Structure 1
Amino acid sequence: MRLSAHRRYGVGIALWLMVLMIAMSSVSMESTDDTIMWSPFDLSTEALASIADLDDHPIEDNDAARADRMLAALESIPEGERQGMDLDAEALRSKPLAERLAELQGLWEVRQQELREAYDAMPKVNELLMERIDILNNADATDGALTGALTDLEDLLSDIDMARDFHTIGGFPTLASMLRCSRPEGVRELAAWAVGTAVKNEPEHQLWVLEDGPDSQPSVLALLLENAMAATTPTLRSKVVYALSACLTNNGDVQLQFGSRMGEAVLSAMYDADGSDRRVRIKTLTLMSDLLQEAARGSPAAVLATMPVGSTASSGGAWCRRVDEALQHAHSPAALEKAIEAVQSFTPSCRDQFAQLDTKRRLEGLAQQCRTSPPEGFEVAEEEYHKELTQKLEECAVALR
């Protein structure tokens, strides 16, 4: 079952509650030891006074101030949770200080106990993860149970620490097993989505996709490339491209393995596969564009991963044609922006092919169109964005002269 919004963030809330309890536990009727131990060195009275002078808002430490802080904290509790507390702030304020402190201390201790019980009742991080792992490992689990567990995992693994814990307790091979082509495509697309979420933007996490699983199970990277070739639906292709992008970006080790496994040829075949829709093609083109940008910045791994691009003797020349087609079919601002970025990335490799395709004239025509009237899909409020795209079109055309 899908985690509710409350439960999804329950662990974080519980930790916050415990911090609050610890912080407020100092608000007590009982005085503390007046002796202050300074370690590893002692400060003189003058030094302490000098430091105290720097505090523009010193906290008063007397019975009245402590009572005010406790009452303010209790009043900040949501109204629904205060109903059973018998908290009458106005009546308390009218009572003598000693009586007020005694009642507030009693209410405070009750509240602390409630928070402890709430924390103990909340599922812990590893419990949440293990519940989902157990479902995925259950040979009798229905497809519905698997998709529910994978949907929950994608949500949980968006937290970096949870993703690391998931890998530490051995969950990643189980997640990888959901990518086997014997699984339904609906299960595989959610598994690819969860993988991408778990590894993106974290070099350490990205390397997990190179690890072989138990019982000769292929690595996640190998399974993703296998799915790219075997997918029959745009949704699975889209999730596979997302996962590949998440594990390849700025990671030379993964890029080297991608290149050695003919990753560029796999993406090329997926781009041209029957049933690939425009969104999948834009995402695939963007991934290749990003890798080319890394190669231009001097990444040897990215150079090897994209080596065929621009070569008329391989699938590389086809990428140049695809970029030109992306310009022709850019029917939205977002699609036009992606096409422009692809032109910028592919120009060093595709200059000759772009000349044959008359890509420069196409860029100039789009720039002229943008200067006279915004393309379909633009709003008046996006005028600056429109001008920026027009300038980029002009710069791309100049670069092809």
Structure 2
Amino acid sequence: MSQDKPNWEGLLKWSLSHSDGTQSQRQLSEEDRRWFMEAMQAQTIDVIKRMKEITQVMKTPEEVLESQGVSPAEIEDMLDELQEHVESIDMANDLHSIGGLVPLLGYLKNKHPNIRAKAADVVSTIVQNNPRSQQSVMEASGLEPLLTNLASDPDMDVRTQSLGAISSLIRHNKPGIAAFRLANGYAALRDALSSENVRFQR
């Protein structure tokens, strides 16, 4: 990450002083406005920079990561961090722009079930109430591996997270619903809901 991080403590104090009634309402000075905008812009640049770094890791072949001593748990931690960033709709949309969506979808086929499950969880966050990212995932053929994992993954957590991602992906998404139907998704869903595992009964 960038070493020139914004002064968040100062930003917080500034924000509170202008919203908690301790100071009367006044017009912002040009200096205050410039400082505030620079702080916010620095944070945005920092997040984008970090997302690009994560994207580079996701694009790196698994055998190369393993040879460098990167563990599956560290990949999970990285995906956790990515998920925090893409909770913002703007950042979720930016992930595709910087080339990170396709390698993320590739993790749905990773040999480690925890990574497959976490990748599906991140996809769910990206597409939730976000038509633009829903379209991007559909265009990148993201529905197919989710359906495959829902129907046949041996790990129940992967199947559960895949179901959640599919639900978020096709919600209020007519093309997504049509593709889901065409891919016989209702049969996979019916089989999942009839599973004896209680996690599918929630």
Contact 2:6 2:42 in 1 (8 A): no
What residue is the counterpart of 1:208 in the other structure? 136
CA deviation map 1:325-363 (0-9, x unaligned): xxxxxxxxxxxxxxxxxxxxxxxxxxxxxxxxxxxxxxx
What residue is the counterpart of 1:278 in the other structure? 198
Hey, what's the Cα distance between the residues in 2 that align with 1:198 and 1:254? 15
Report the Cα offset of residue 224 of structure 1: 0.2
Say yes or no: does 1:168 pair with 2:88.
no
Normalized against structure 2, the TM-score is what?
0.73
Contact 1:150 1:190 in 2 (8 A): yes
Q: Which has the higher contact order (CA 8 A, sep 6+)?
A: 2
Q: Which has the larger radius of gyration?
A: 1
* C-alpha spacing 1:256/1:127, structure 2 compared with 1 (3 Å): same
Hey, what's the Cα distance between the residues in 2 that align with 1:233 and 1:168? 31
* C-alpha spacing 1:12/1:199, structure 2 compared with 1 (3 Å): farther
Hey, what's the Cα distance between the residues in 2 that align with 1:121 and 1:263? 41
Q: Percent identity?
A: 24
Contact 1:179 1:188 in 2 (8 A): yes
Report the Cα offset of residue 168 of structure 1: 0.9
Structure 2 residue identity aligned to 1:198: I
Hey, what's the Cα distance between the residues in 2 that align with 1:252 and 1:220? 16
Hey, what's the Cα distance between the residues in 2 that align with 1:58 and 1:143? 52
Say yes or no: does 1:258 pair with 2:180.
yes
CA deviation map 1:302-345 (0-9, x unaligned): xxxxxxxxxxxxxxxxxxxxxxxxxxxxxxxxxxxxxxxxxxxx
Hey, what's the Cα distance between the residues in 2 that align with 1:236 and 1:136? 19
Normalized against structure 1, the TM-score is what?
0.39
Hey, what's the Cα distance between the residues in 2 that align with 1:175 and 1:211? 14
* C-alpha spacing 1:121/1:257, structure 2 compared with 1 (3 Å): closer
Query: Gaps (5+ residues) in structure 2?
Result: 15-23
Question: Within 5 Å, which residues of 2 pair with 1:302-313?
Answer: none
CA deviation map 1:175-206 (0-9, x unaligned): 000001x4211001000000000011112221
Structure 1 residue identity aligned to 2:78: A
Hey, what's the Cα distance between the residues in 2 that align with 1:166 and 1:11? 22
Hey, what's the Cα distance between the residues in 2 that align with 1:147 and 1:165? 21
Contact 1:157 1:163 in 2 (8 A): yes
Say yes or no: does 1:134 pair with 2:56.
yes
- Say what the alpha-carbon RMSD is for the aligned residues: 3.5
* C-alpha spacing 1:135/1:12, structure 2 compared with 1 (3 Å): farther
* C-alpha spacing 1:270/1:121, structure 2 compared with 1 (3 Å): closer
Query: Gaps (5+ residues) in structure 1?
Result: 1-9, 21-56, 61-68, 71-107, 213-218, 283-401
**Match of 2:53, SS?**
helix
